[in-house]
């Protein structure tokens, strides 16, 4: 008997084939559990590699599980390569806990680009938030010097953008300048997914369509929801990948769709915890991903992008 063709390669979807290298939890929605399902709903074939497999996210009192090392990642890639399965249109990465694993991911990206020179690499440089670093300090250098130059799209939060650029973001102008610095280092698309300025929460996006050209930039004011959620950054980056690929020349529209989905999902999550009789301000909340399928497929855009001149 001959091996049947891999239909995602033989009959590729109109959207793409994504390799997503992120964490995995048995229970709850963070990492790949937040990213894979929404991308599938948006029409993508997604192959997940789980950088860790934990019972639950680390915000619980305890967790158990395993951590993938660089050699194990290489083994998986070699298995795919041996069977001619290495053609991907996109790579998506999120939280990476060690320099050695991040270095291996860079080798993977170069290998995949040797197969498909048009590969899009979407990187969420997960390093910390609100002034606190939660990865080893040496990872910042690797992201800045090695990862950013390879990325097609970068989705840092305010703290991460500051670490990558060395620029303090105290204003919208600072946010726009940080995007320009990151463009110069590599990626054509940059979305700083959350910036707080004077108590106002906003997103700043920037698309440099050709090197040397002034980037097209925009902002979206975001409604603050009075609770803390896990997995939202992973979901946001997946949605930005999904929608920006469908609207490659309109990053502002892609961001509107992504933000609108996330806001609707968070409102649903908050309402459901309240309906269950739980005080949503007492701990971090697990997002209601499965219950929000319609908002993922067909978001109702309420928050509009405002283009900078």
Whether the per-residue pLDDT at 263 is higher than 80: the answer is: yes
Q: Tokens 């004011």 label which residue?
A: 221
Quickly state the pLDDT bin for 169 (edges 50, 70, 90): very high
Which residue in 69, 77, 134 sits closest to 100, CA to CA? 69
Q: Looking at residues 1-17, what average pLDDT do you find? A: 85
* 75 carries an active-site annotation: no
Q: Tokens 């320009």 label which residue?
A: 180
**Total domains present in the chain:** 1
Average pLDDT over the chain, rounded to an integer: 95
Quickly state the pLDDT bin for 166 (edges 50, 70, 90): very high
Quickly state the pLDDT bin for 12 (edges 50, 70, 90): confident
Q: Is residue 10 part of a domain?
A: no
| CATH code for the domain in which residue 68 is found | 3.40.1190.20
Q: Is residue 87 part of a domain?
A: yes
273 SS3 class: helix
Q: Is residue 4 part of a domain?
A: no
Quickly state the pLDDT bin for 77 (edges 50, 70, 90): very high
Q: What is the pLDDT of residue 244?
A: 97
What burial letters (b/e) apply to 139-177, b meaning 16+ CB within 10 Å?
Answer: bbebbbeebbebbbbbbbbbbbbbbbbebebeebebbbe
Q: Is residue 9 part of a domain?
A: no
Q: Is residue 93 part of a domain?
A: yes
Catalytic choice (45, 124, 174, 234)? 234
Q: Which two tokens stand for residue 46?
A: 């997604």
Q: Is residue 7 part of a domain?
A: no
Residue range(s) defining the domain that contains residue 198: 15-307
Q: What is the pLDDT of residue 22?
A: 96
Q: Is residue 8 part of a domain?
A: no
User: Could you give the percent of the chain with pLDDT greater than 90?
Assistant: 87
Q: Is residue 41 part of a domain?
A: yes
* Sequence-distant (≥ 6) Cβ neighbours of residue 48 within 8 angstroms: 20, 21, 22, 24, 32, 35, 36
């Amino acid at each position: 008997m001959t091996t049947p063709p891999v239909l995602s390669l033989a009959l590729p979807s109109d959207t793409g084939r994504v390799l997503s290298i992120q964490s995995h939890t048995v229970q709850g929605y963070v990492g790949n559990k937040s990213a894979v399902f929404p991308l599938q709903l948006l029409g993508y074939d997604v192959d997940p590699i789980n950088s860790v497999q934990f019972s639950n996210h680390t915000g619980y009192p305890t967790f158990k599980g395993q951590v993938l090392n660089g050699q194990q990642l290489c083994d998986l890639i070699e298995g795919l390569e041996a069977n001619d399965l290495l053609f991907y249109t996109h790579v998506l990465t999120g939280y990476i806990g060690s320099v050695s694993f991040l270095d291996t991911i860079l080798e993977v990206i170069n290998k995949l680009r040797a197969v498909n020179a048009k590969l899009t690499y979407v990187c969420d440089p997960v390093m910390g938030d609100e002034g606190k670093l939660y990865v080893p300090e040496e990872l910042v250098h690797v992201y800045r010097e090695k990862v950013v130059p390879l990325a097609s799209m970068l989705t840092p939060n305010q703290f991460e953008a500051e670490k990558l650029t060395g620029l303090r973001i105290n204003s919208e102008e600072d946010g726009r300048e940080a995007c320009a610095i990151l463009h110069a280092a590599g990626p054509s698309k940059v979305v700083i997914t959350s910036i707080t300025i004077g108590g106002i929460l906003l997103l700043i996006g920037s698309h440099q369509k050709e090197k040397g050209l002034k980037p097209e930039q925009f902002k979206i004011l975001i409604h603050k929801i009075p609770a803390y959620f896990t997995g939202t950054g992973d979901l946001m980056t997946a949605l930005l990948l999904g929608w920006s690929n469908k609207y490659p020349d309109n990053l502002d529209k892609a961001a509107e769709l992504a933000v609108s989905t996330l806001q609707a999902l968070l409102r649903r999550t908050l309402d459901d915890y309240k309906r269950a009789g739980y005080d949503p301000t007492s701990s971090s909340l697990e997002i209601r991903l499965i219950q929000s399928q319609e908002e993922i497929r067909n978001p109702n855009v309420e928050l509009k992008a405002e283009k900078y001149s």
